[in-house]
């Protein structure tokens, strides 16, 4: 996987040397360079690099000051590159992956890159899965985006799925299993092989025959909760 890197250093020669070392590393893409913190902050937010090689002492805001302006969940991996060893404790307190003292060589930078790859792999493995916030509905000549929060329920309709949004319906070419995997299970639950409902849209549950149940939605729609999905659905609805 290509590692996208932003170099932030107020010394042009230092940036040039760092870029040269990175060019000899496999699967590295330098996406930008900055000489001070303000432009670096804007670059981090727009480029969203995987790694920032960050100088500590720069004109204006320091590297540590820059990180204070970034919420934790917006921070890329950080490796400090500096001529000053007295900031190491502060650097690791803000969860820097490594701390390189100038002048560092190619081998030392390579060690830091290896640590970054390990750090990012671990962070990705711990990150919660990203669920759909919007669904693209394609029709002739245009694509309409539907917010998942607006969907009351979903049912199969031949080779399509019908998204029920209030009194509207939209068709998408997906299978029920595919869309179920993409929806947040805290907000949606499958209650039948052909039906998914938004949990907040459920108003009432009443018994039917053969162990099935009727789920009444907030707009009065009635759909079936089948026995095979009952345990999972009741747990999602807080009934288990």
What's the average model confidence in pLDDT over 1-20?
Answer: 95
What's the average model confidence in pLDDT over 190-194?
Answer: 95
Q: 122 with 139, same domain?
A: no
Alpha carbon separation from 77 to 105, 202, 223, 228, 236 (Å, rounded) = 20, 42, 47, 45, 36
**Count: domains in the chain:** 2
Q: 85 with 147, same domain?
A: no
153: domain CATH number?
Answer: 2.40.50.1020
Percent of the chain with pLDDT over 70: 100
pLDDT value at position 240? 58
Q: 221 with 175, same domain?
A: yes
42: domain CATH number?
Answer: 3.40.50.2300
Residue of 193 and 139 predicted with greater confidence = 193
Which run of H or E residues covers position 233? helix 227-236
The label of the residue with tokens 């590692």 reads 3
Q: 177 with 119, same domain?
A: no
- Helices marked H in 97-187: 106-126, 176-182
Asked which of 75, 97, 126 is the last residue of a domain, the reply is 126
Q: 78 with 34, same domain?
A: yes
Average pLDDT across the chain, whole number? 92
What's the average model confidence in pLDDT over 12-16?
Answer: 95
Q: 102 with 25, same domain?
A: yes
Which residues have C-beta within 8 Å of that of residue 64, sequence separation ≥ 6? 56, 87, 90, 91, 94
* C-alpha to C-alpha distance for 190 and 205, rounded to whole angstroms: 15
Alpha carbon separation from 17 to 20, 91, 145 (Å, rounded) = 5, 22, 46
pLDDT tens track for 90-140: 999 989 999 999 999 999 999 999 999 999 999 988 877 789 999 999 888
Q: 32 with 122, same domain?
A: yes
pLDDT value at position 12? 95
Q: Is residue 61's pLDDT more than 90?
A: no
Question: Contact, 169 vs 161, CB < 8 A?
Answer: no
pLDDT value at position 145? 93
Question: Contact, 233 vs 225, CB < 8 A?
Answer: yes
Alpha carbon separation from 25 to 8, 17, 107 (Å, rounded) = 18, 13, 10
Q: 119 with 147, same domain?
A: no
pLDDT value at position 128? 74
Asked which of 80, 108, 126 is the last residue of a domain, the reply is 126
Q: 14 with 109, same domain?
A: yes
Percent of the chain with pLDDT over 90: 76
Asked which of 79, 101, 126 is the last residue of a domain, the reply is 126
Residue 115: domain span: 3-126
User: Backbone dihedral region of 64: left (phi > 0), alpha (psi from -120 to 50 degrees) or beta?
Assistant: alpha
DSSP structure class, residue 183 = S
* C-alpha to C-alpha distance for 188 and 117, rounded to whole angstroms: 34
Question: Contact, 18 vs 81, CB < 8 A?
Answer: yes
pTM metric for this prediction: 0.58
Q: 115 with 204, same domain?
A: no
What's the average model confidence in pLDDT over 25-51?
Answer: 93
Q: 106 with 152, same domain?
A: no
* C-alpha to C-alpha distance for 222 and 224, rounded to whole angstroms: 7
What's the average model confidence in pLDDT over 41-58?
Answer: 94
Q: 138 with 205, same domain?
A: yes
pLDDT tens track for 130-184: 899 999 998 888 999 999 999 999 999 999 999 999 999 999 999 999 999 999 9
Task: Assign 71 a pLDDT band (cuts: 50, 70, 90).
Answer: confident
């Amino acid at each position: 996987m290509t590692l996208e890197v932003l170099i932030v250093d107020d010394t042009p020669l230092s940036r040039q040397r760092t870029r040269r070392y990175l060019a000899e590393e496999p699967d590295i893409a330098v996406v930008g360079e900055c000489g001070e913190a303000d432009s670096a902050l804007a670059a981090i937010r727009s480029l969203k690099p995987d790694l920032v090689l960050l100088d500590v002492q720069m004109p204006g805001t320091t590297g540590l000051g820059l990180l204070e302006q970034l919420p934790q969940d917006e921070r890329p991996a950080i490796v400090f590159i500096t001529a000053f060893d007295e900031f190491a404790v502060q650097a690791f307190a803000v969860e820097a992956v490594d701390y390189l003292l100038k002048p560092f060589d190619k081998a030392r930078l390579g060690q830091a890159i290896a640590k970054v790859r390990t750090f990012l792999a671990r962070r990705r493995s711990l990150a919660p899965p990203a669920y759909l916030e919007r669904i693209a509905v394609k029709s002739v000549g245009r694509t309409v985006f539907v917010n998942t929060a607006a969907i009351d329920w979903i049912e199969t309709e031949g080779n399509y799925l019908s998204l029920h949004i209030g009194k509207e319906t939209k068709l998408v070419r997906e299978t029920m299993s595919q869309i179920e995997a993409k929806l947040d299970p805290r907000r949606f639950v499958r209650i039948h092989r052909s039906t998914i409902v938004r949990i907040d849209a459920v108003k009432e549950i009443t018994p039917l025959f053969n162990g099935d149940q009727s789920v009444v939605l907030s707009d009065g729609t009635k759909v079936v909760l089948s026995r095979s999905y009952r345990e999972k659905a009741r747990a999602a609805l807080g009934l288990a």
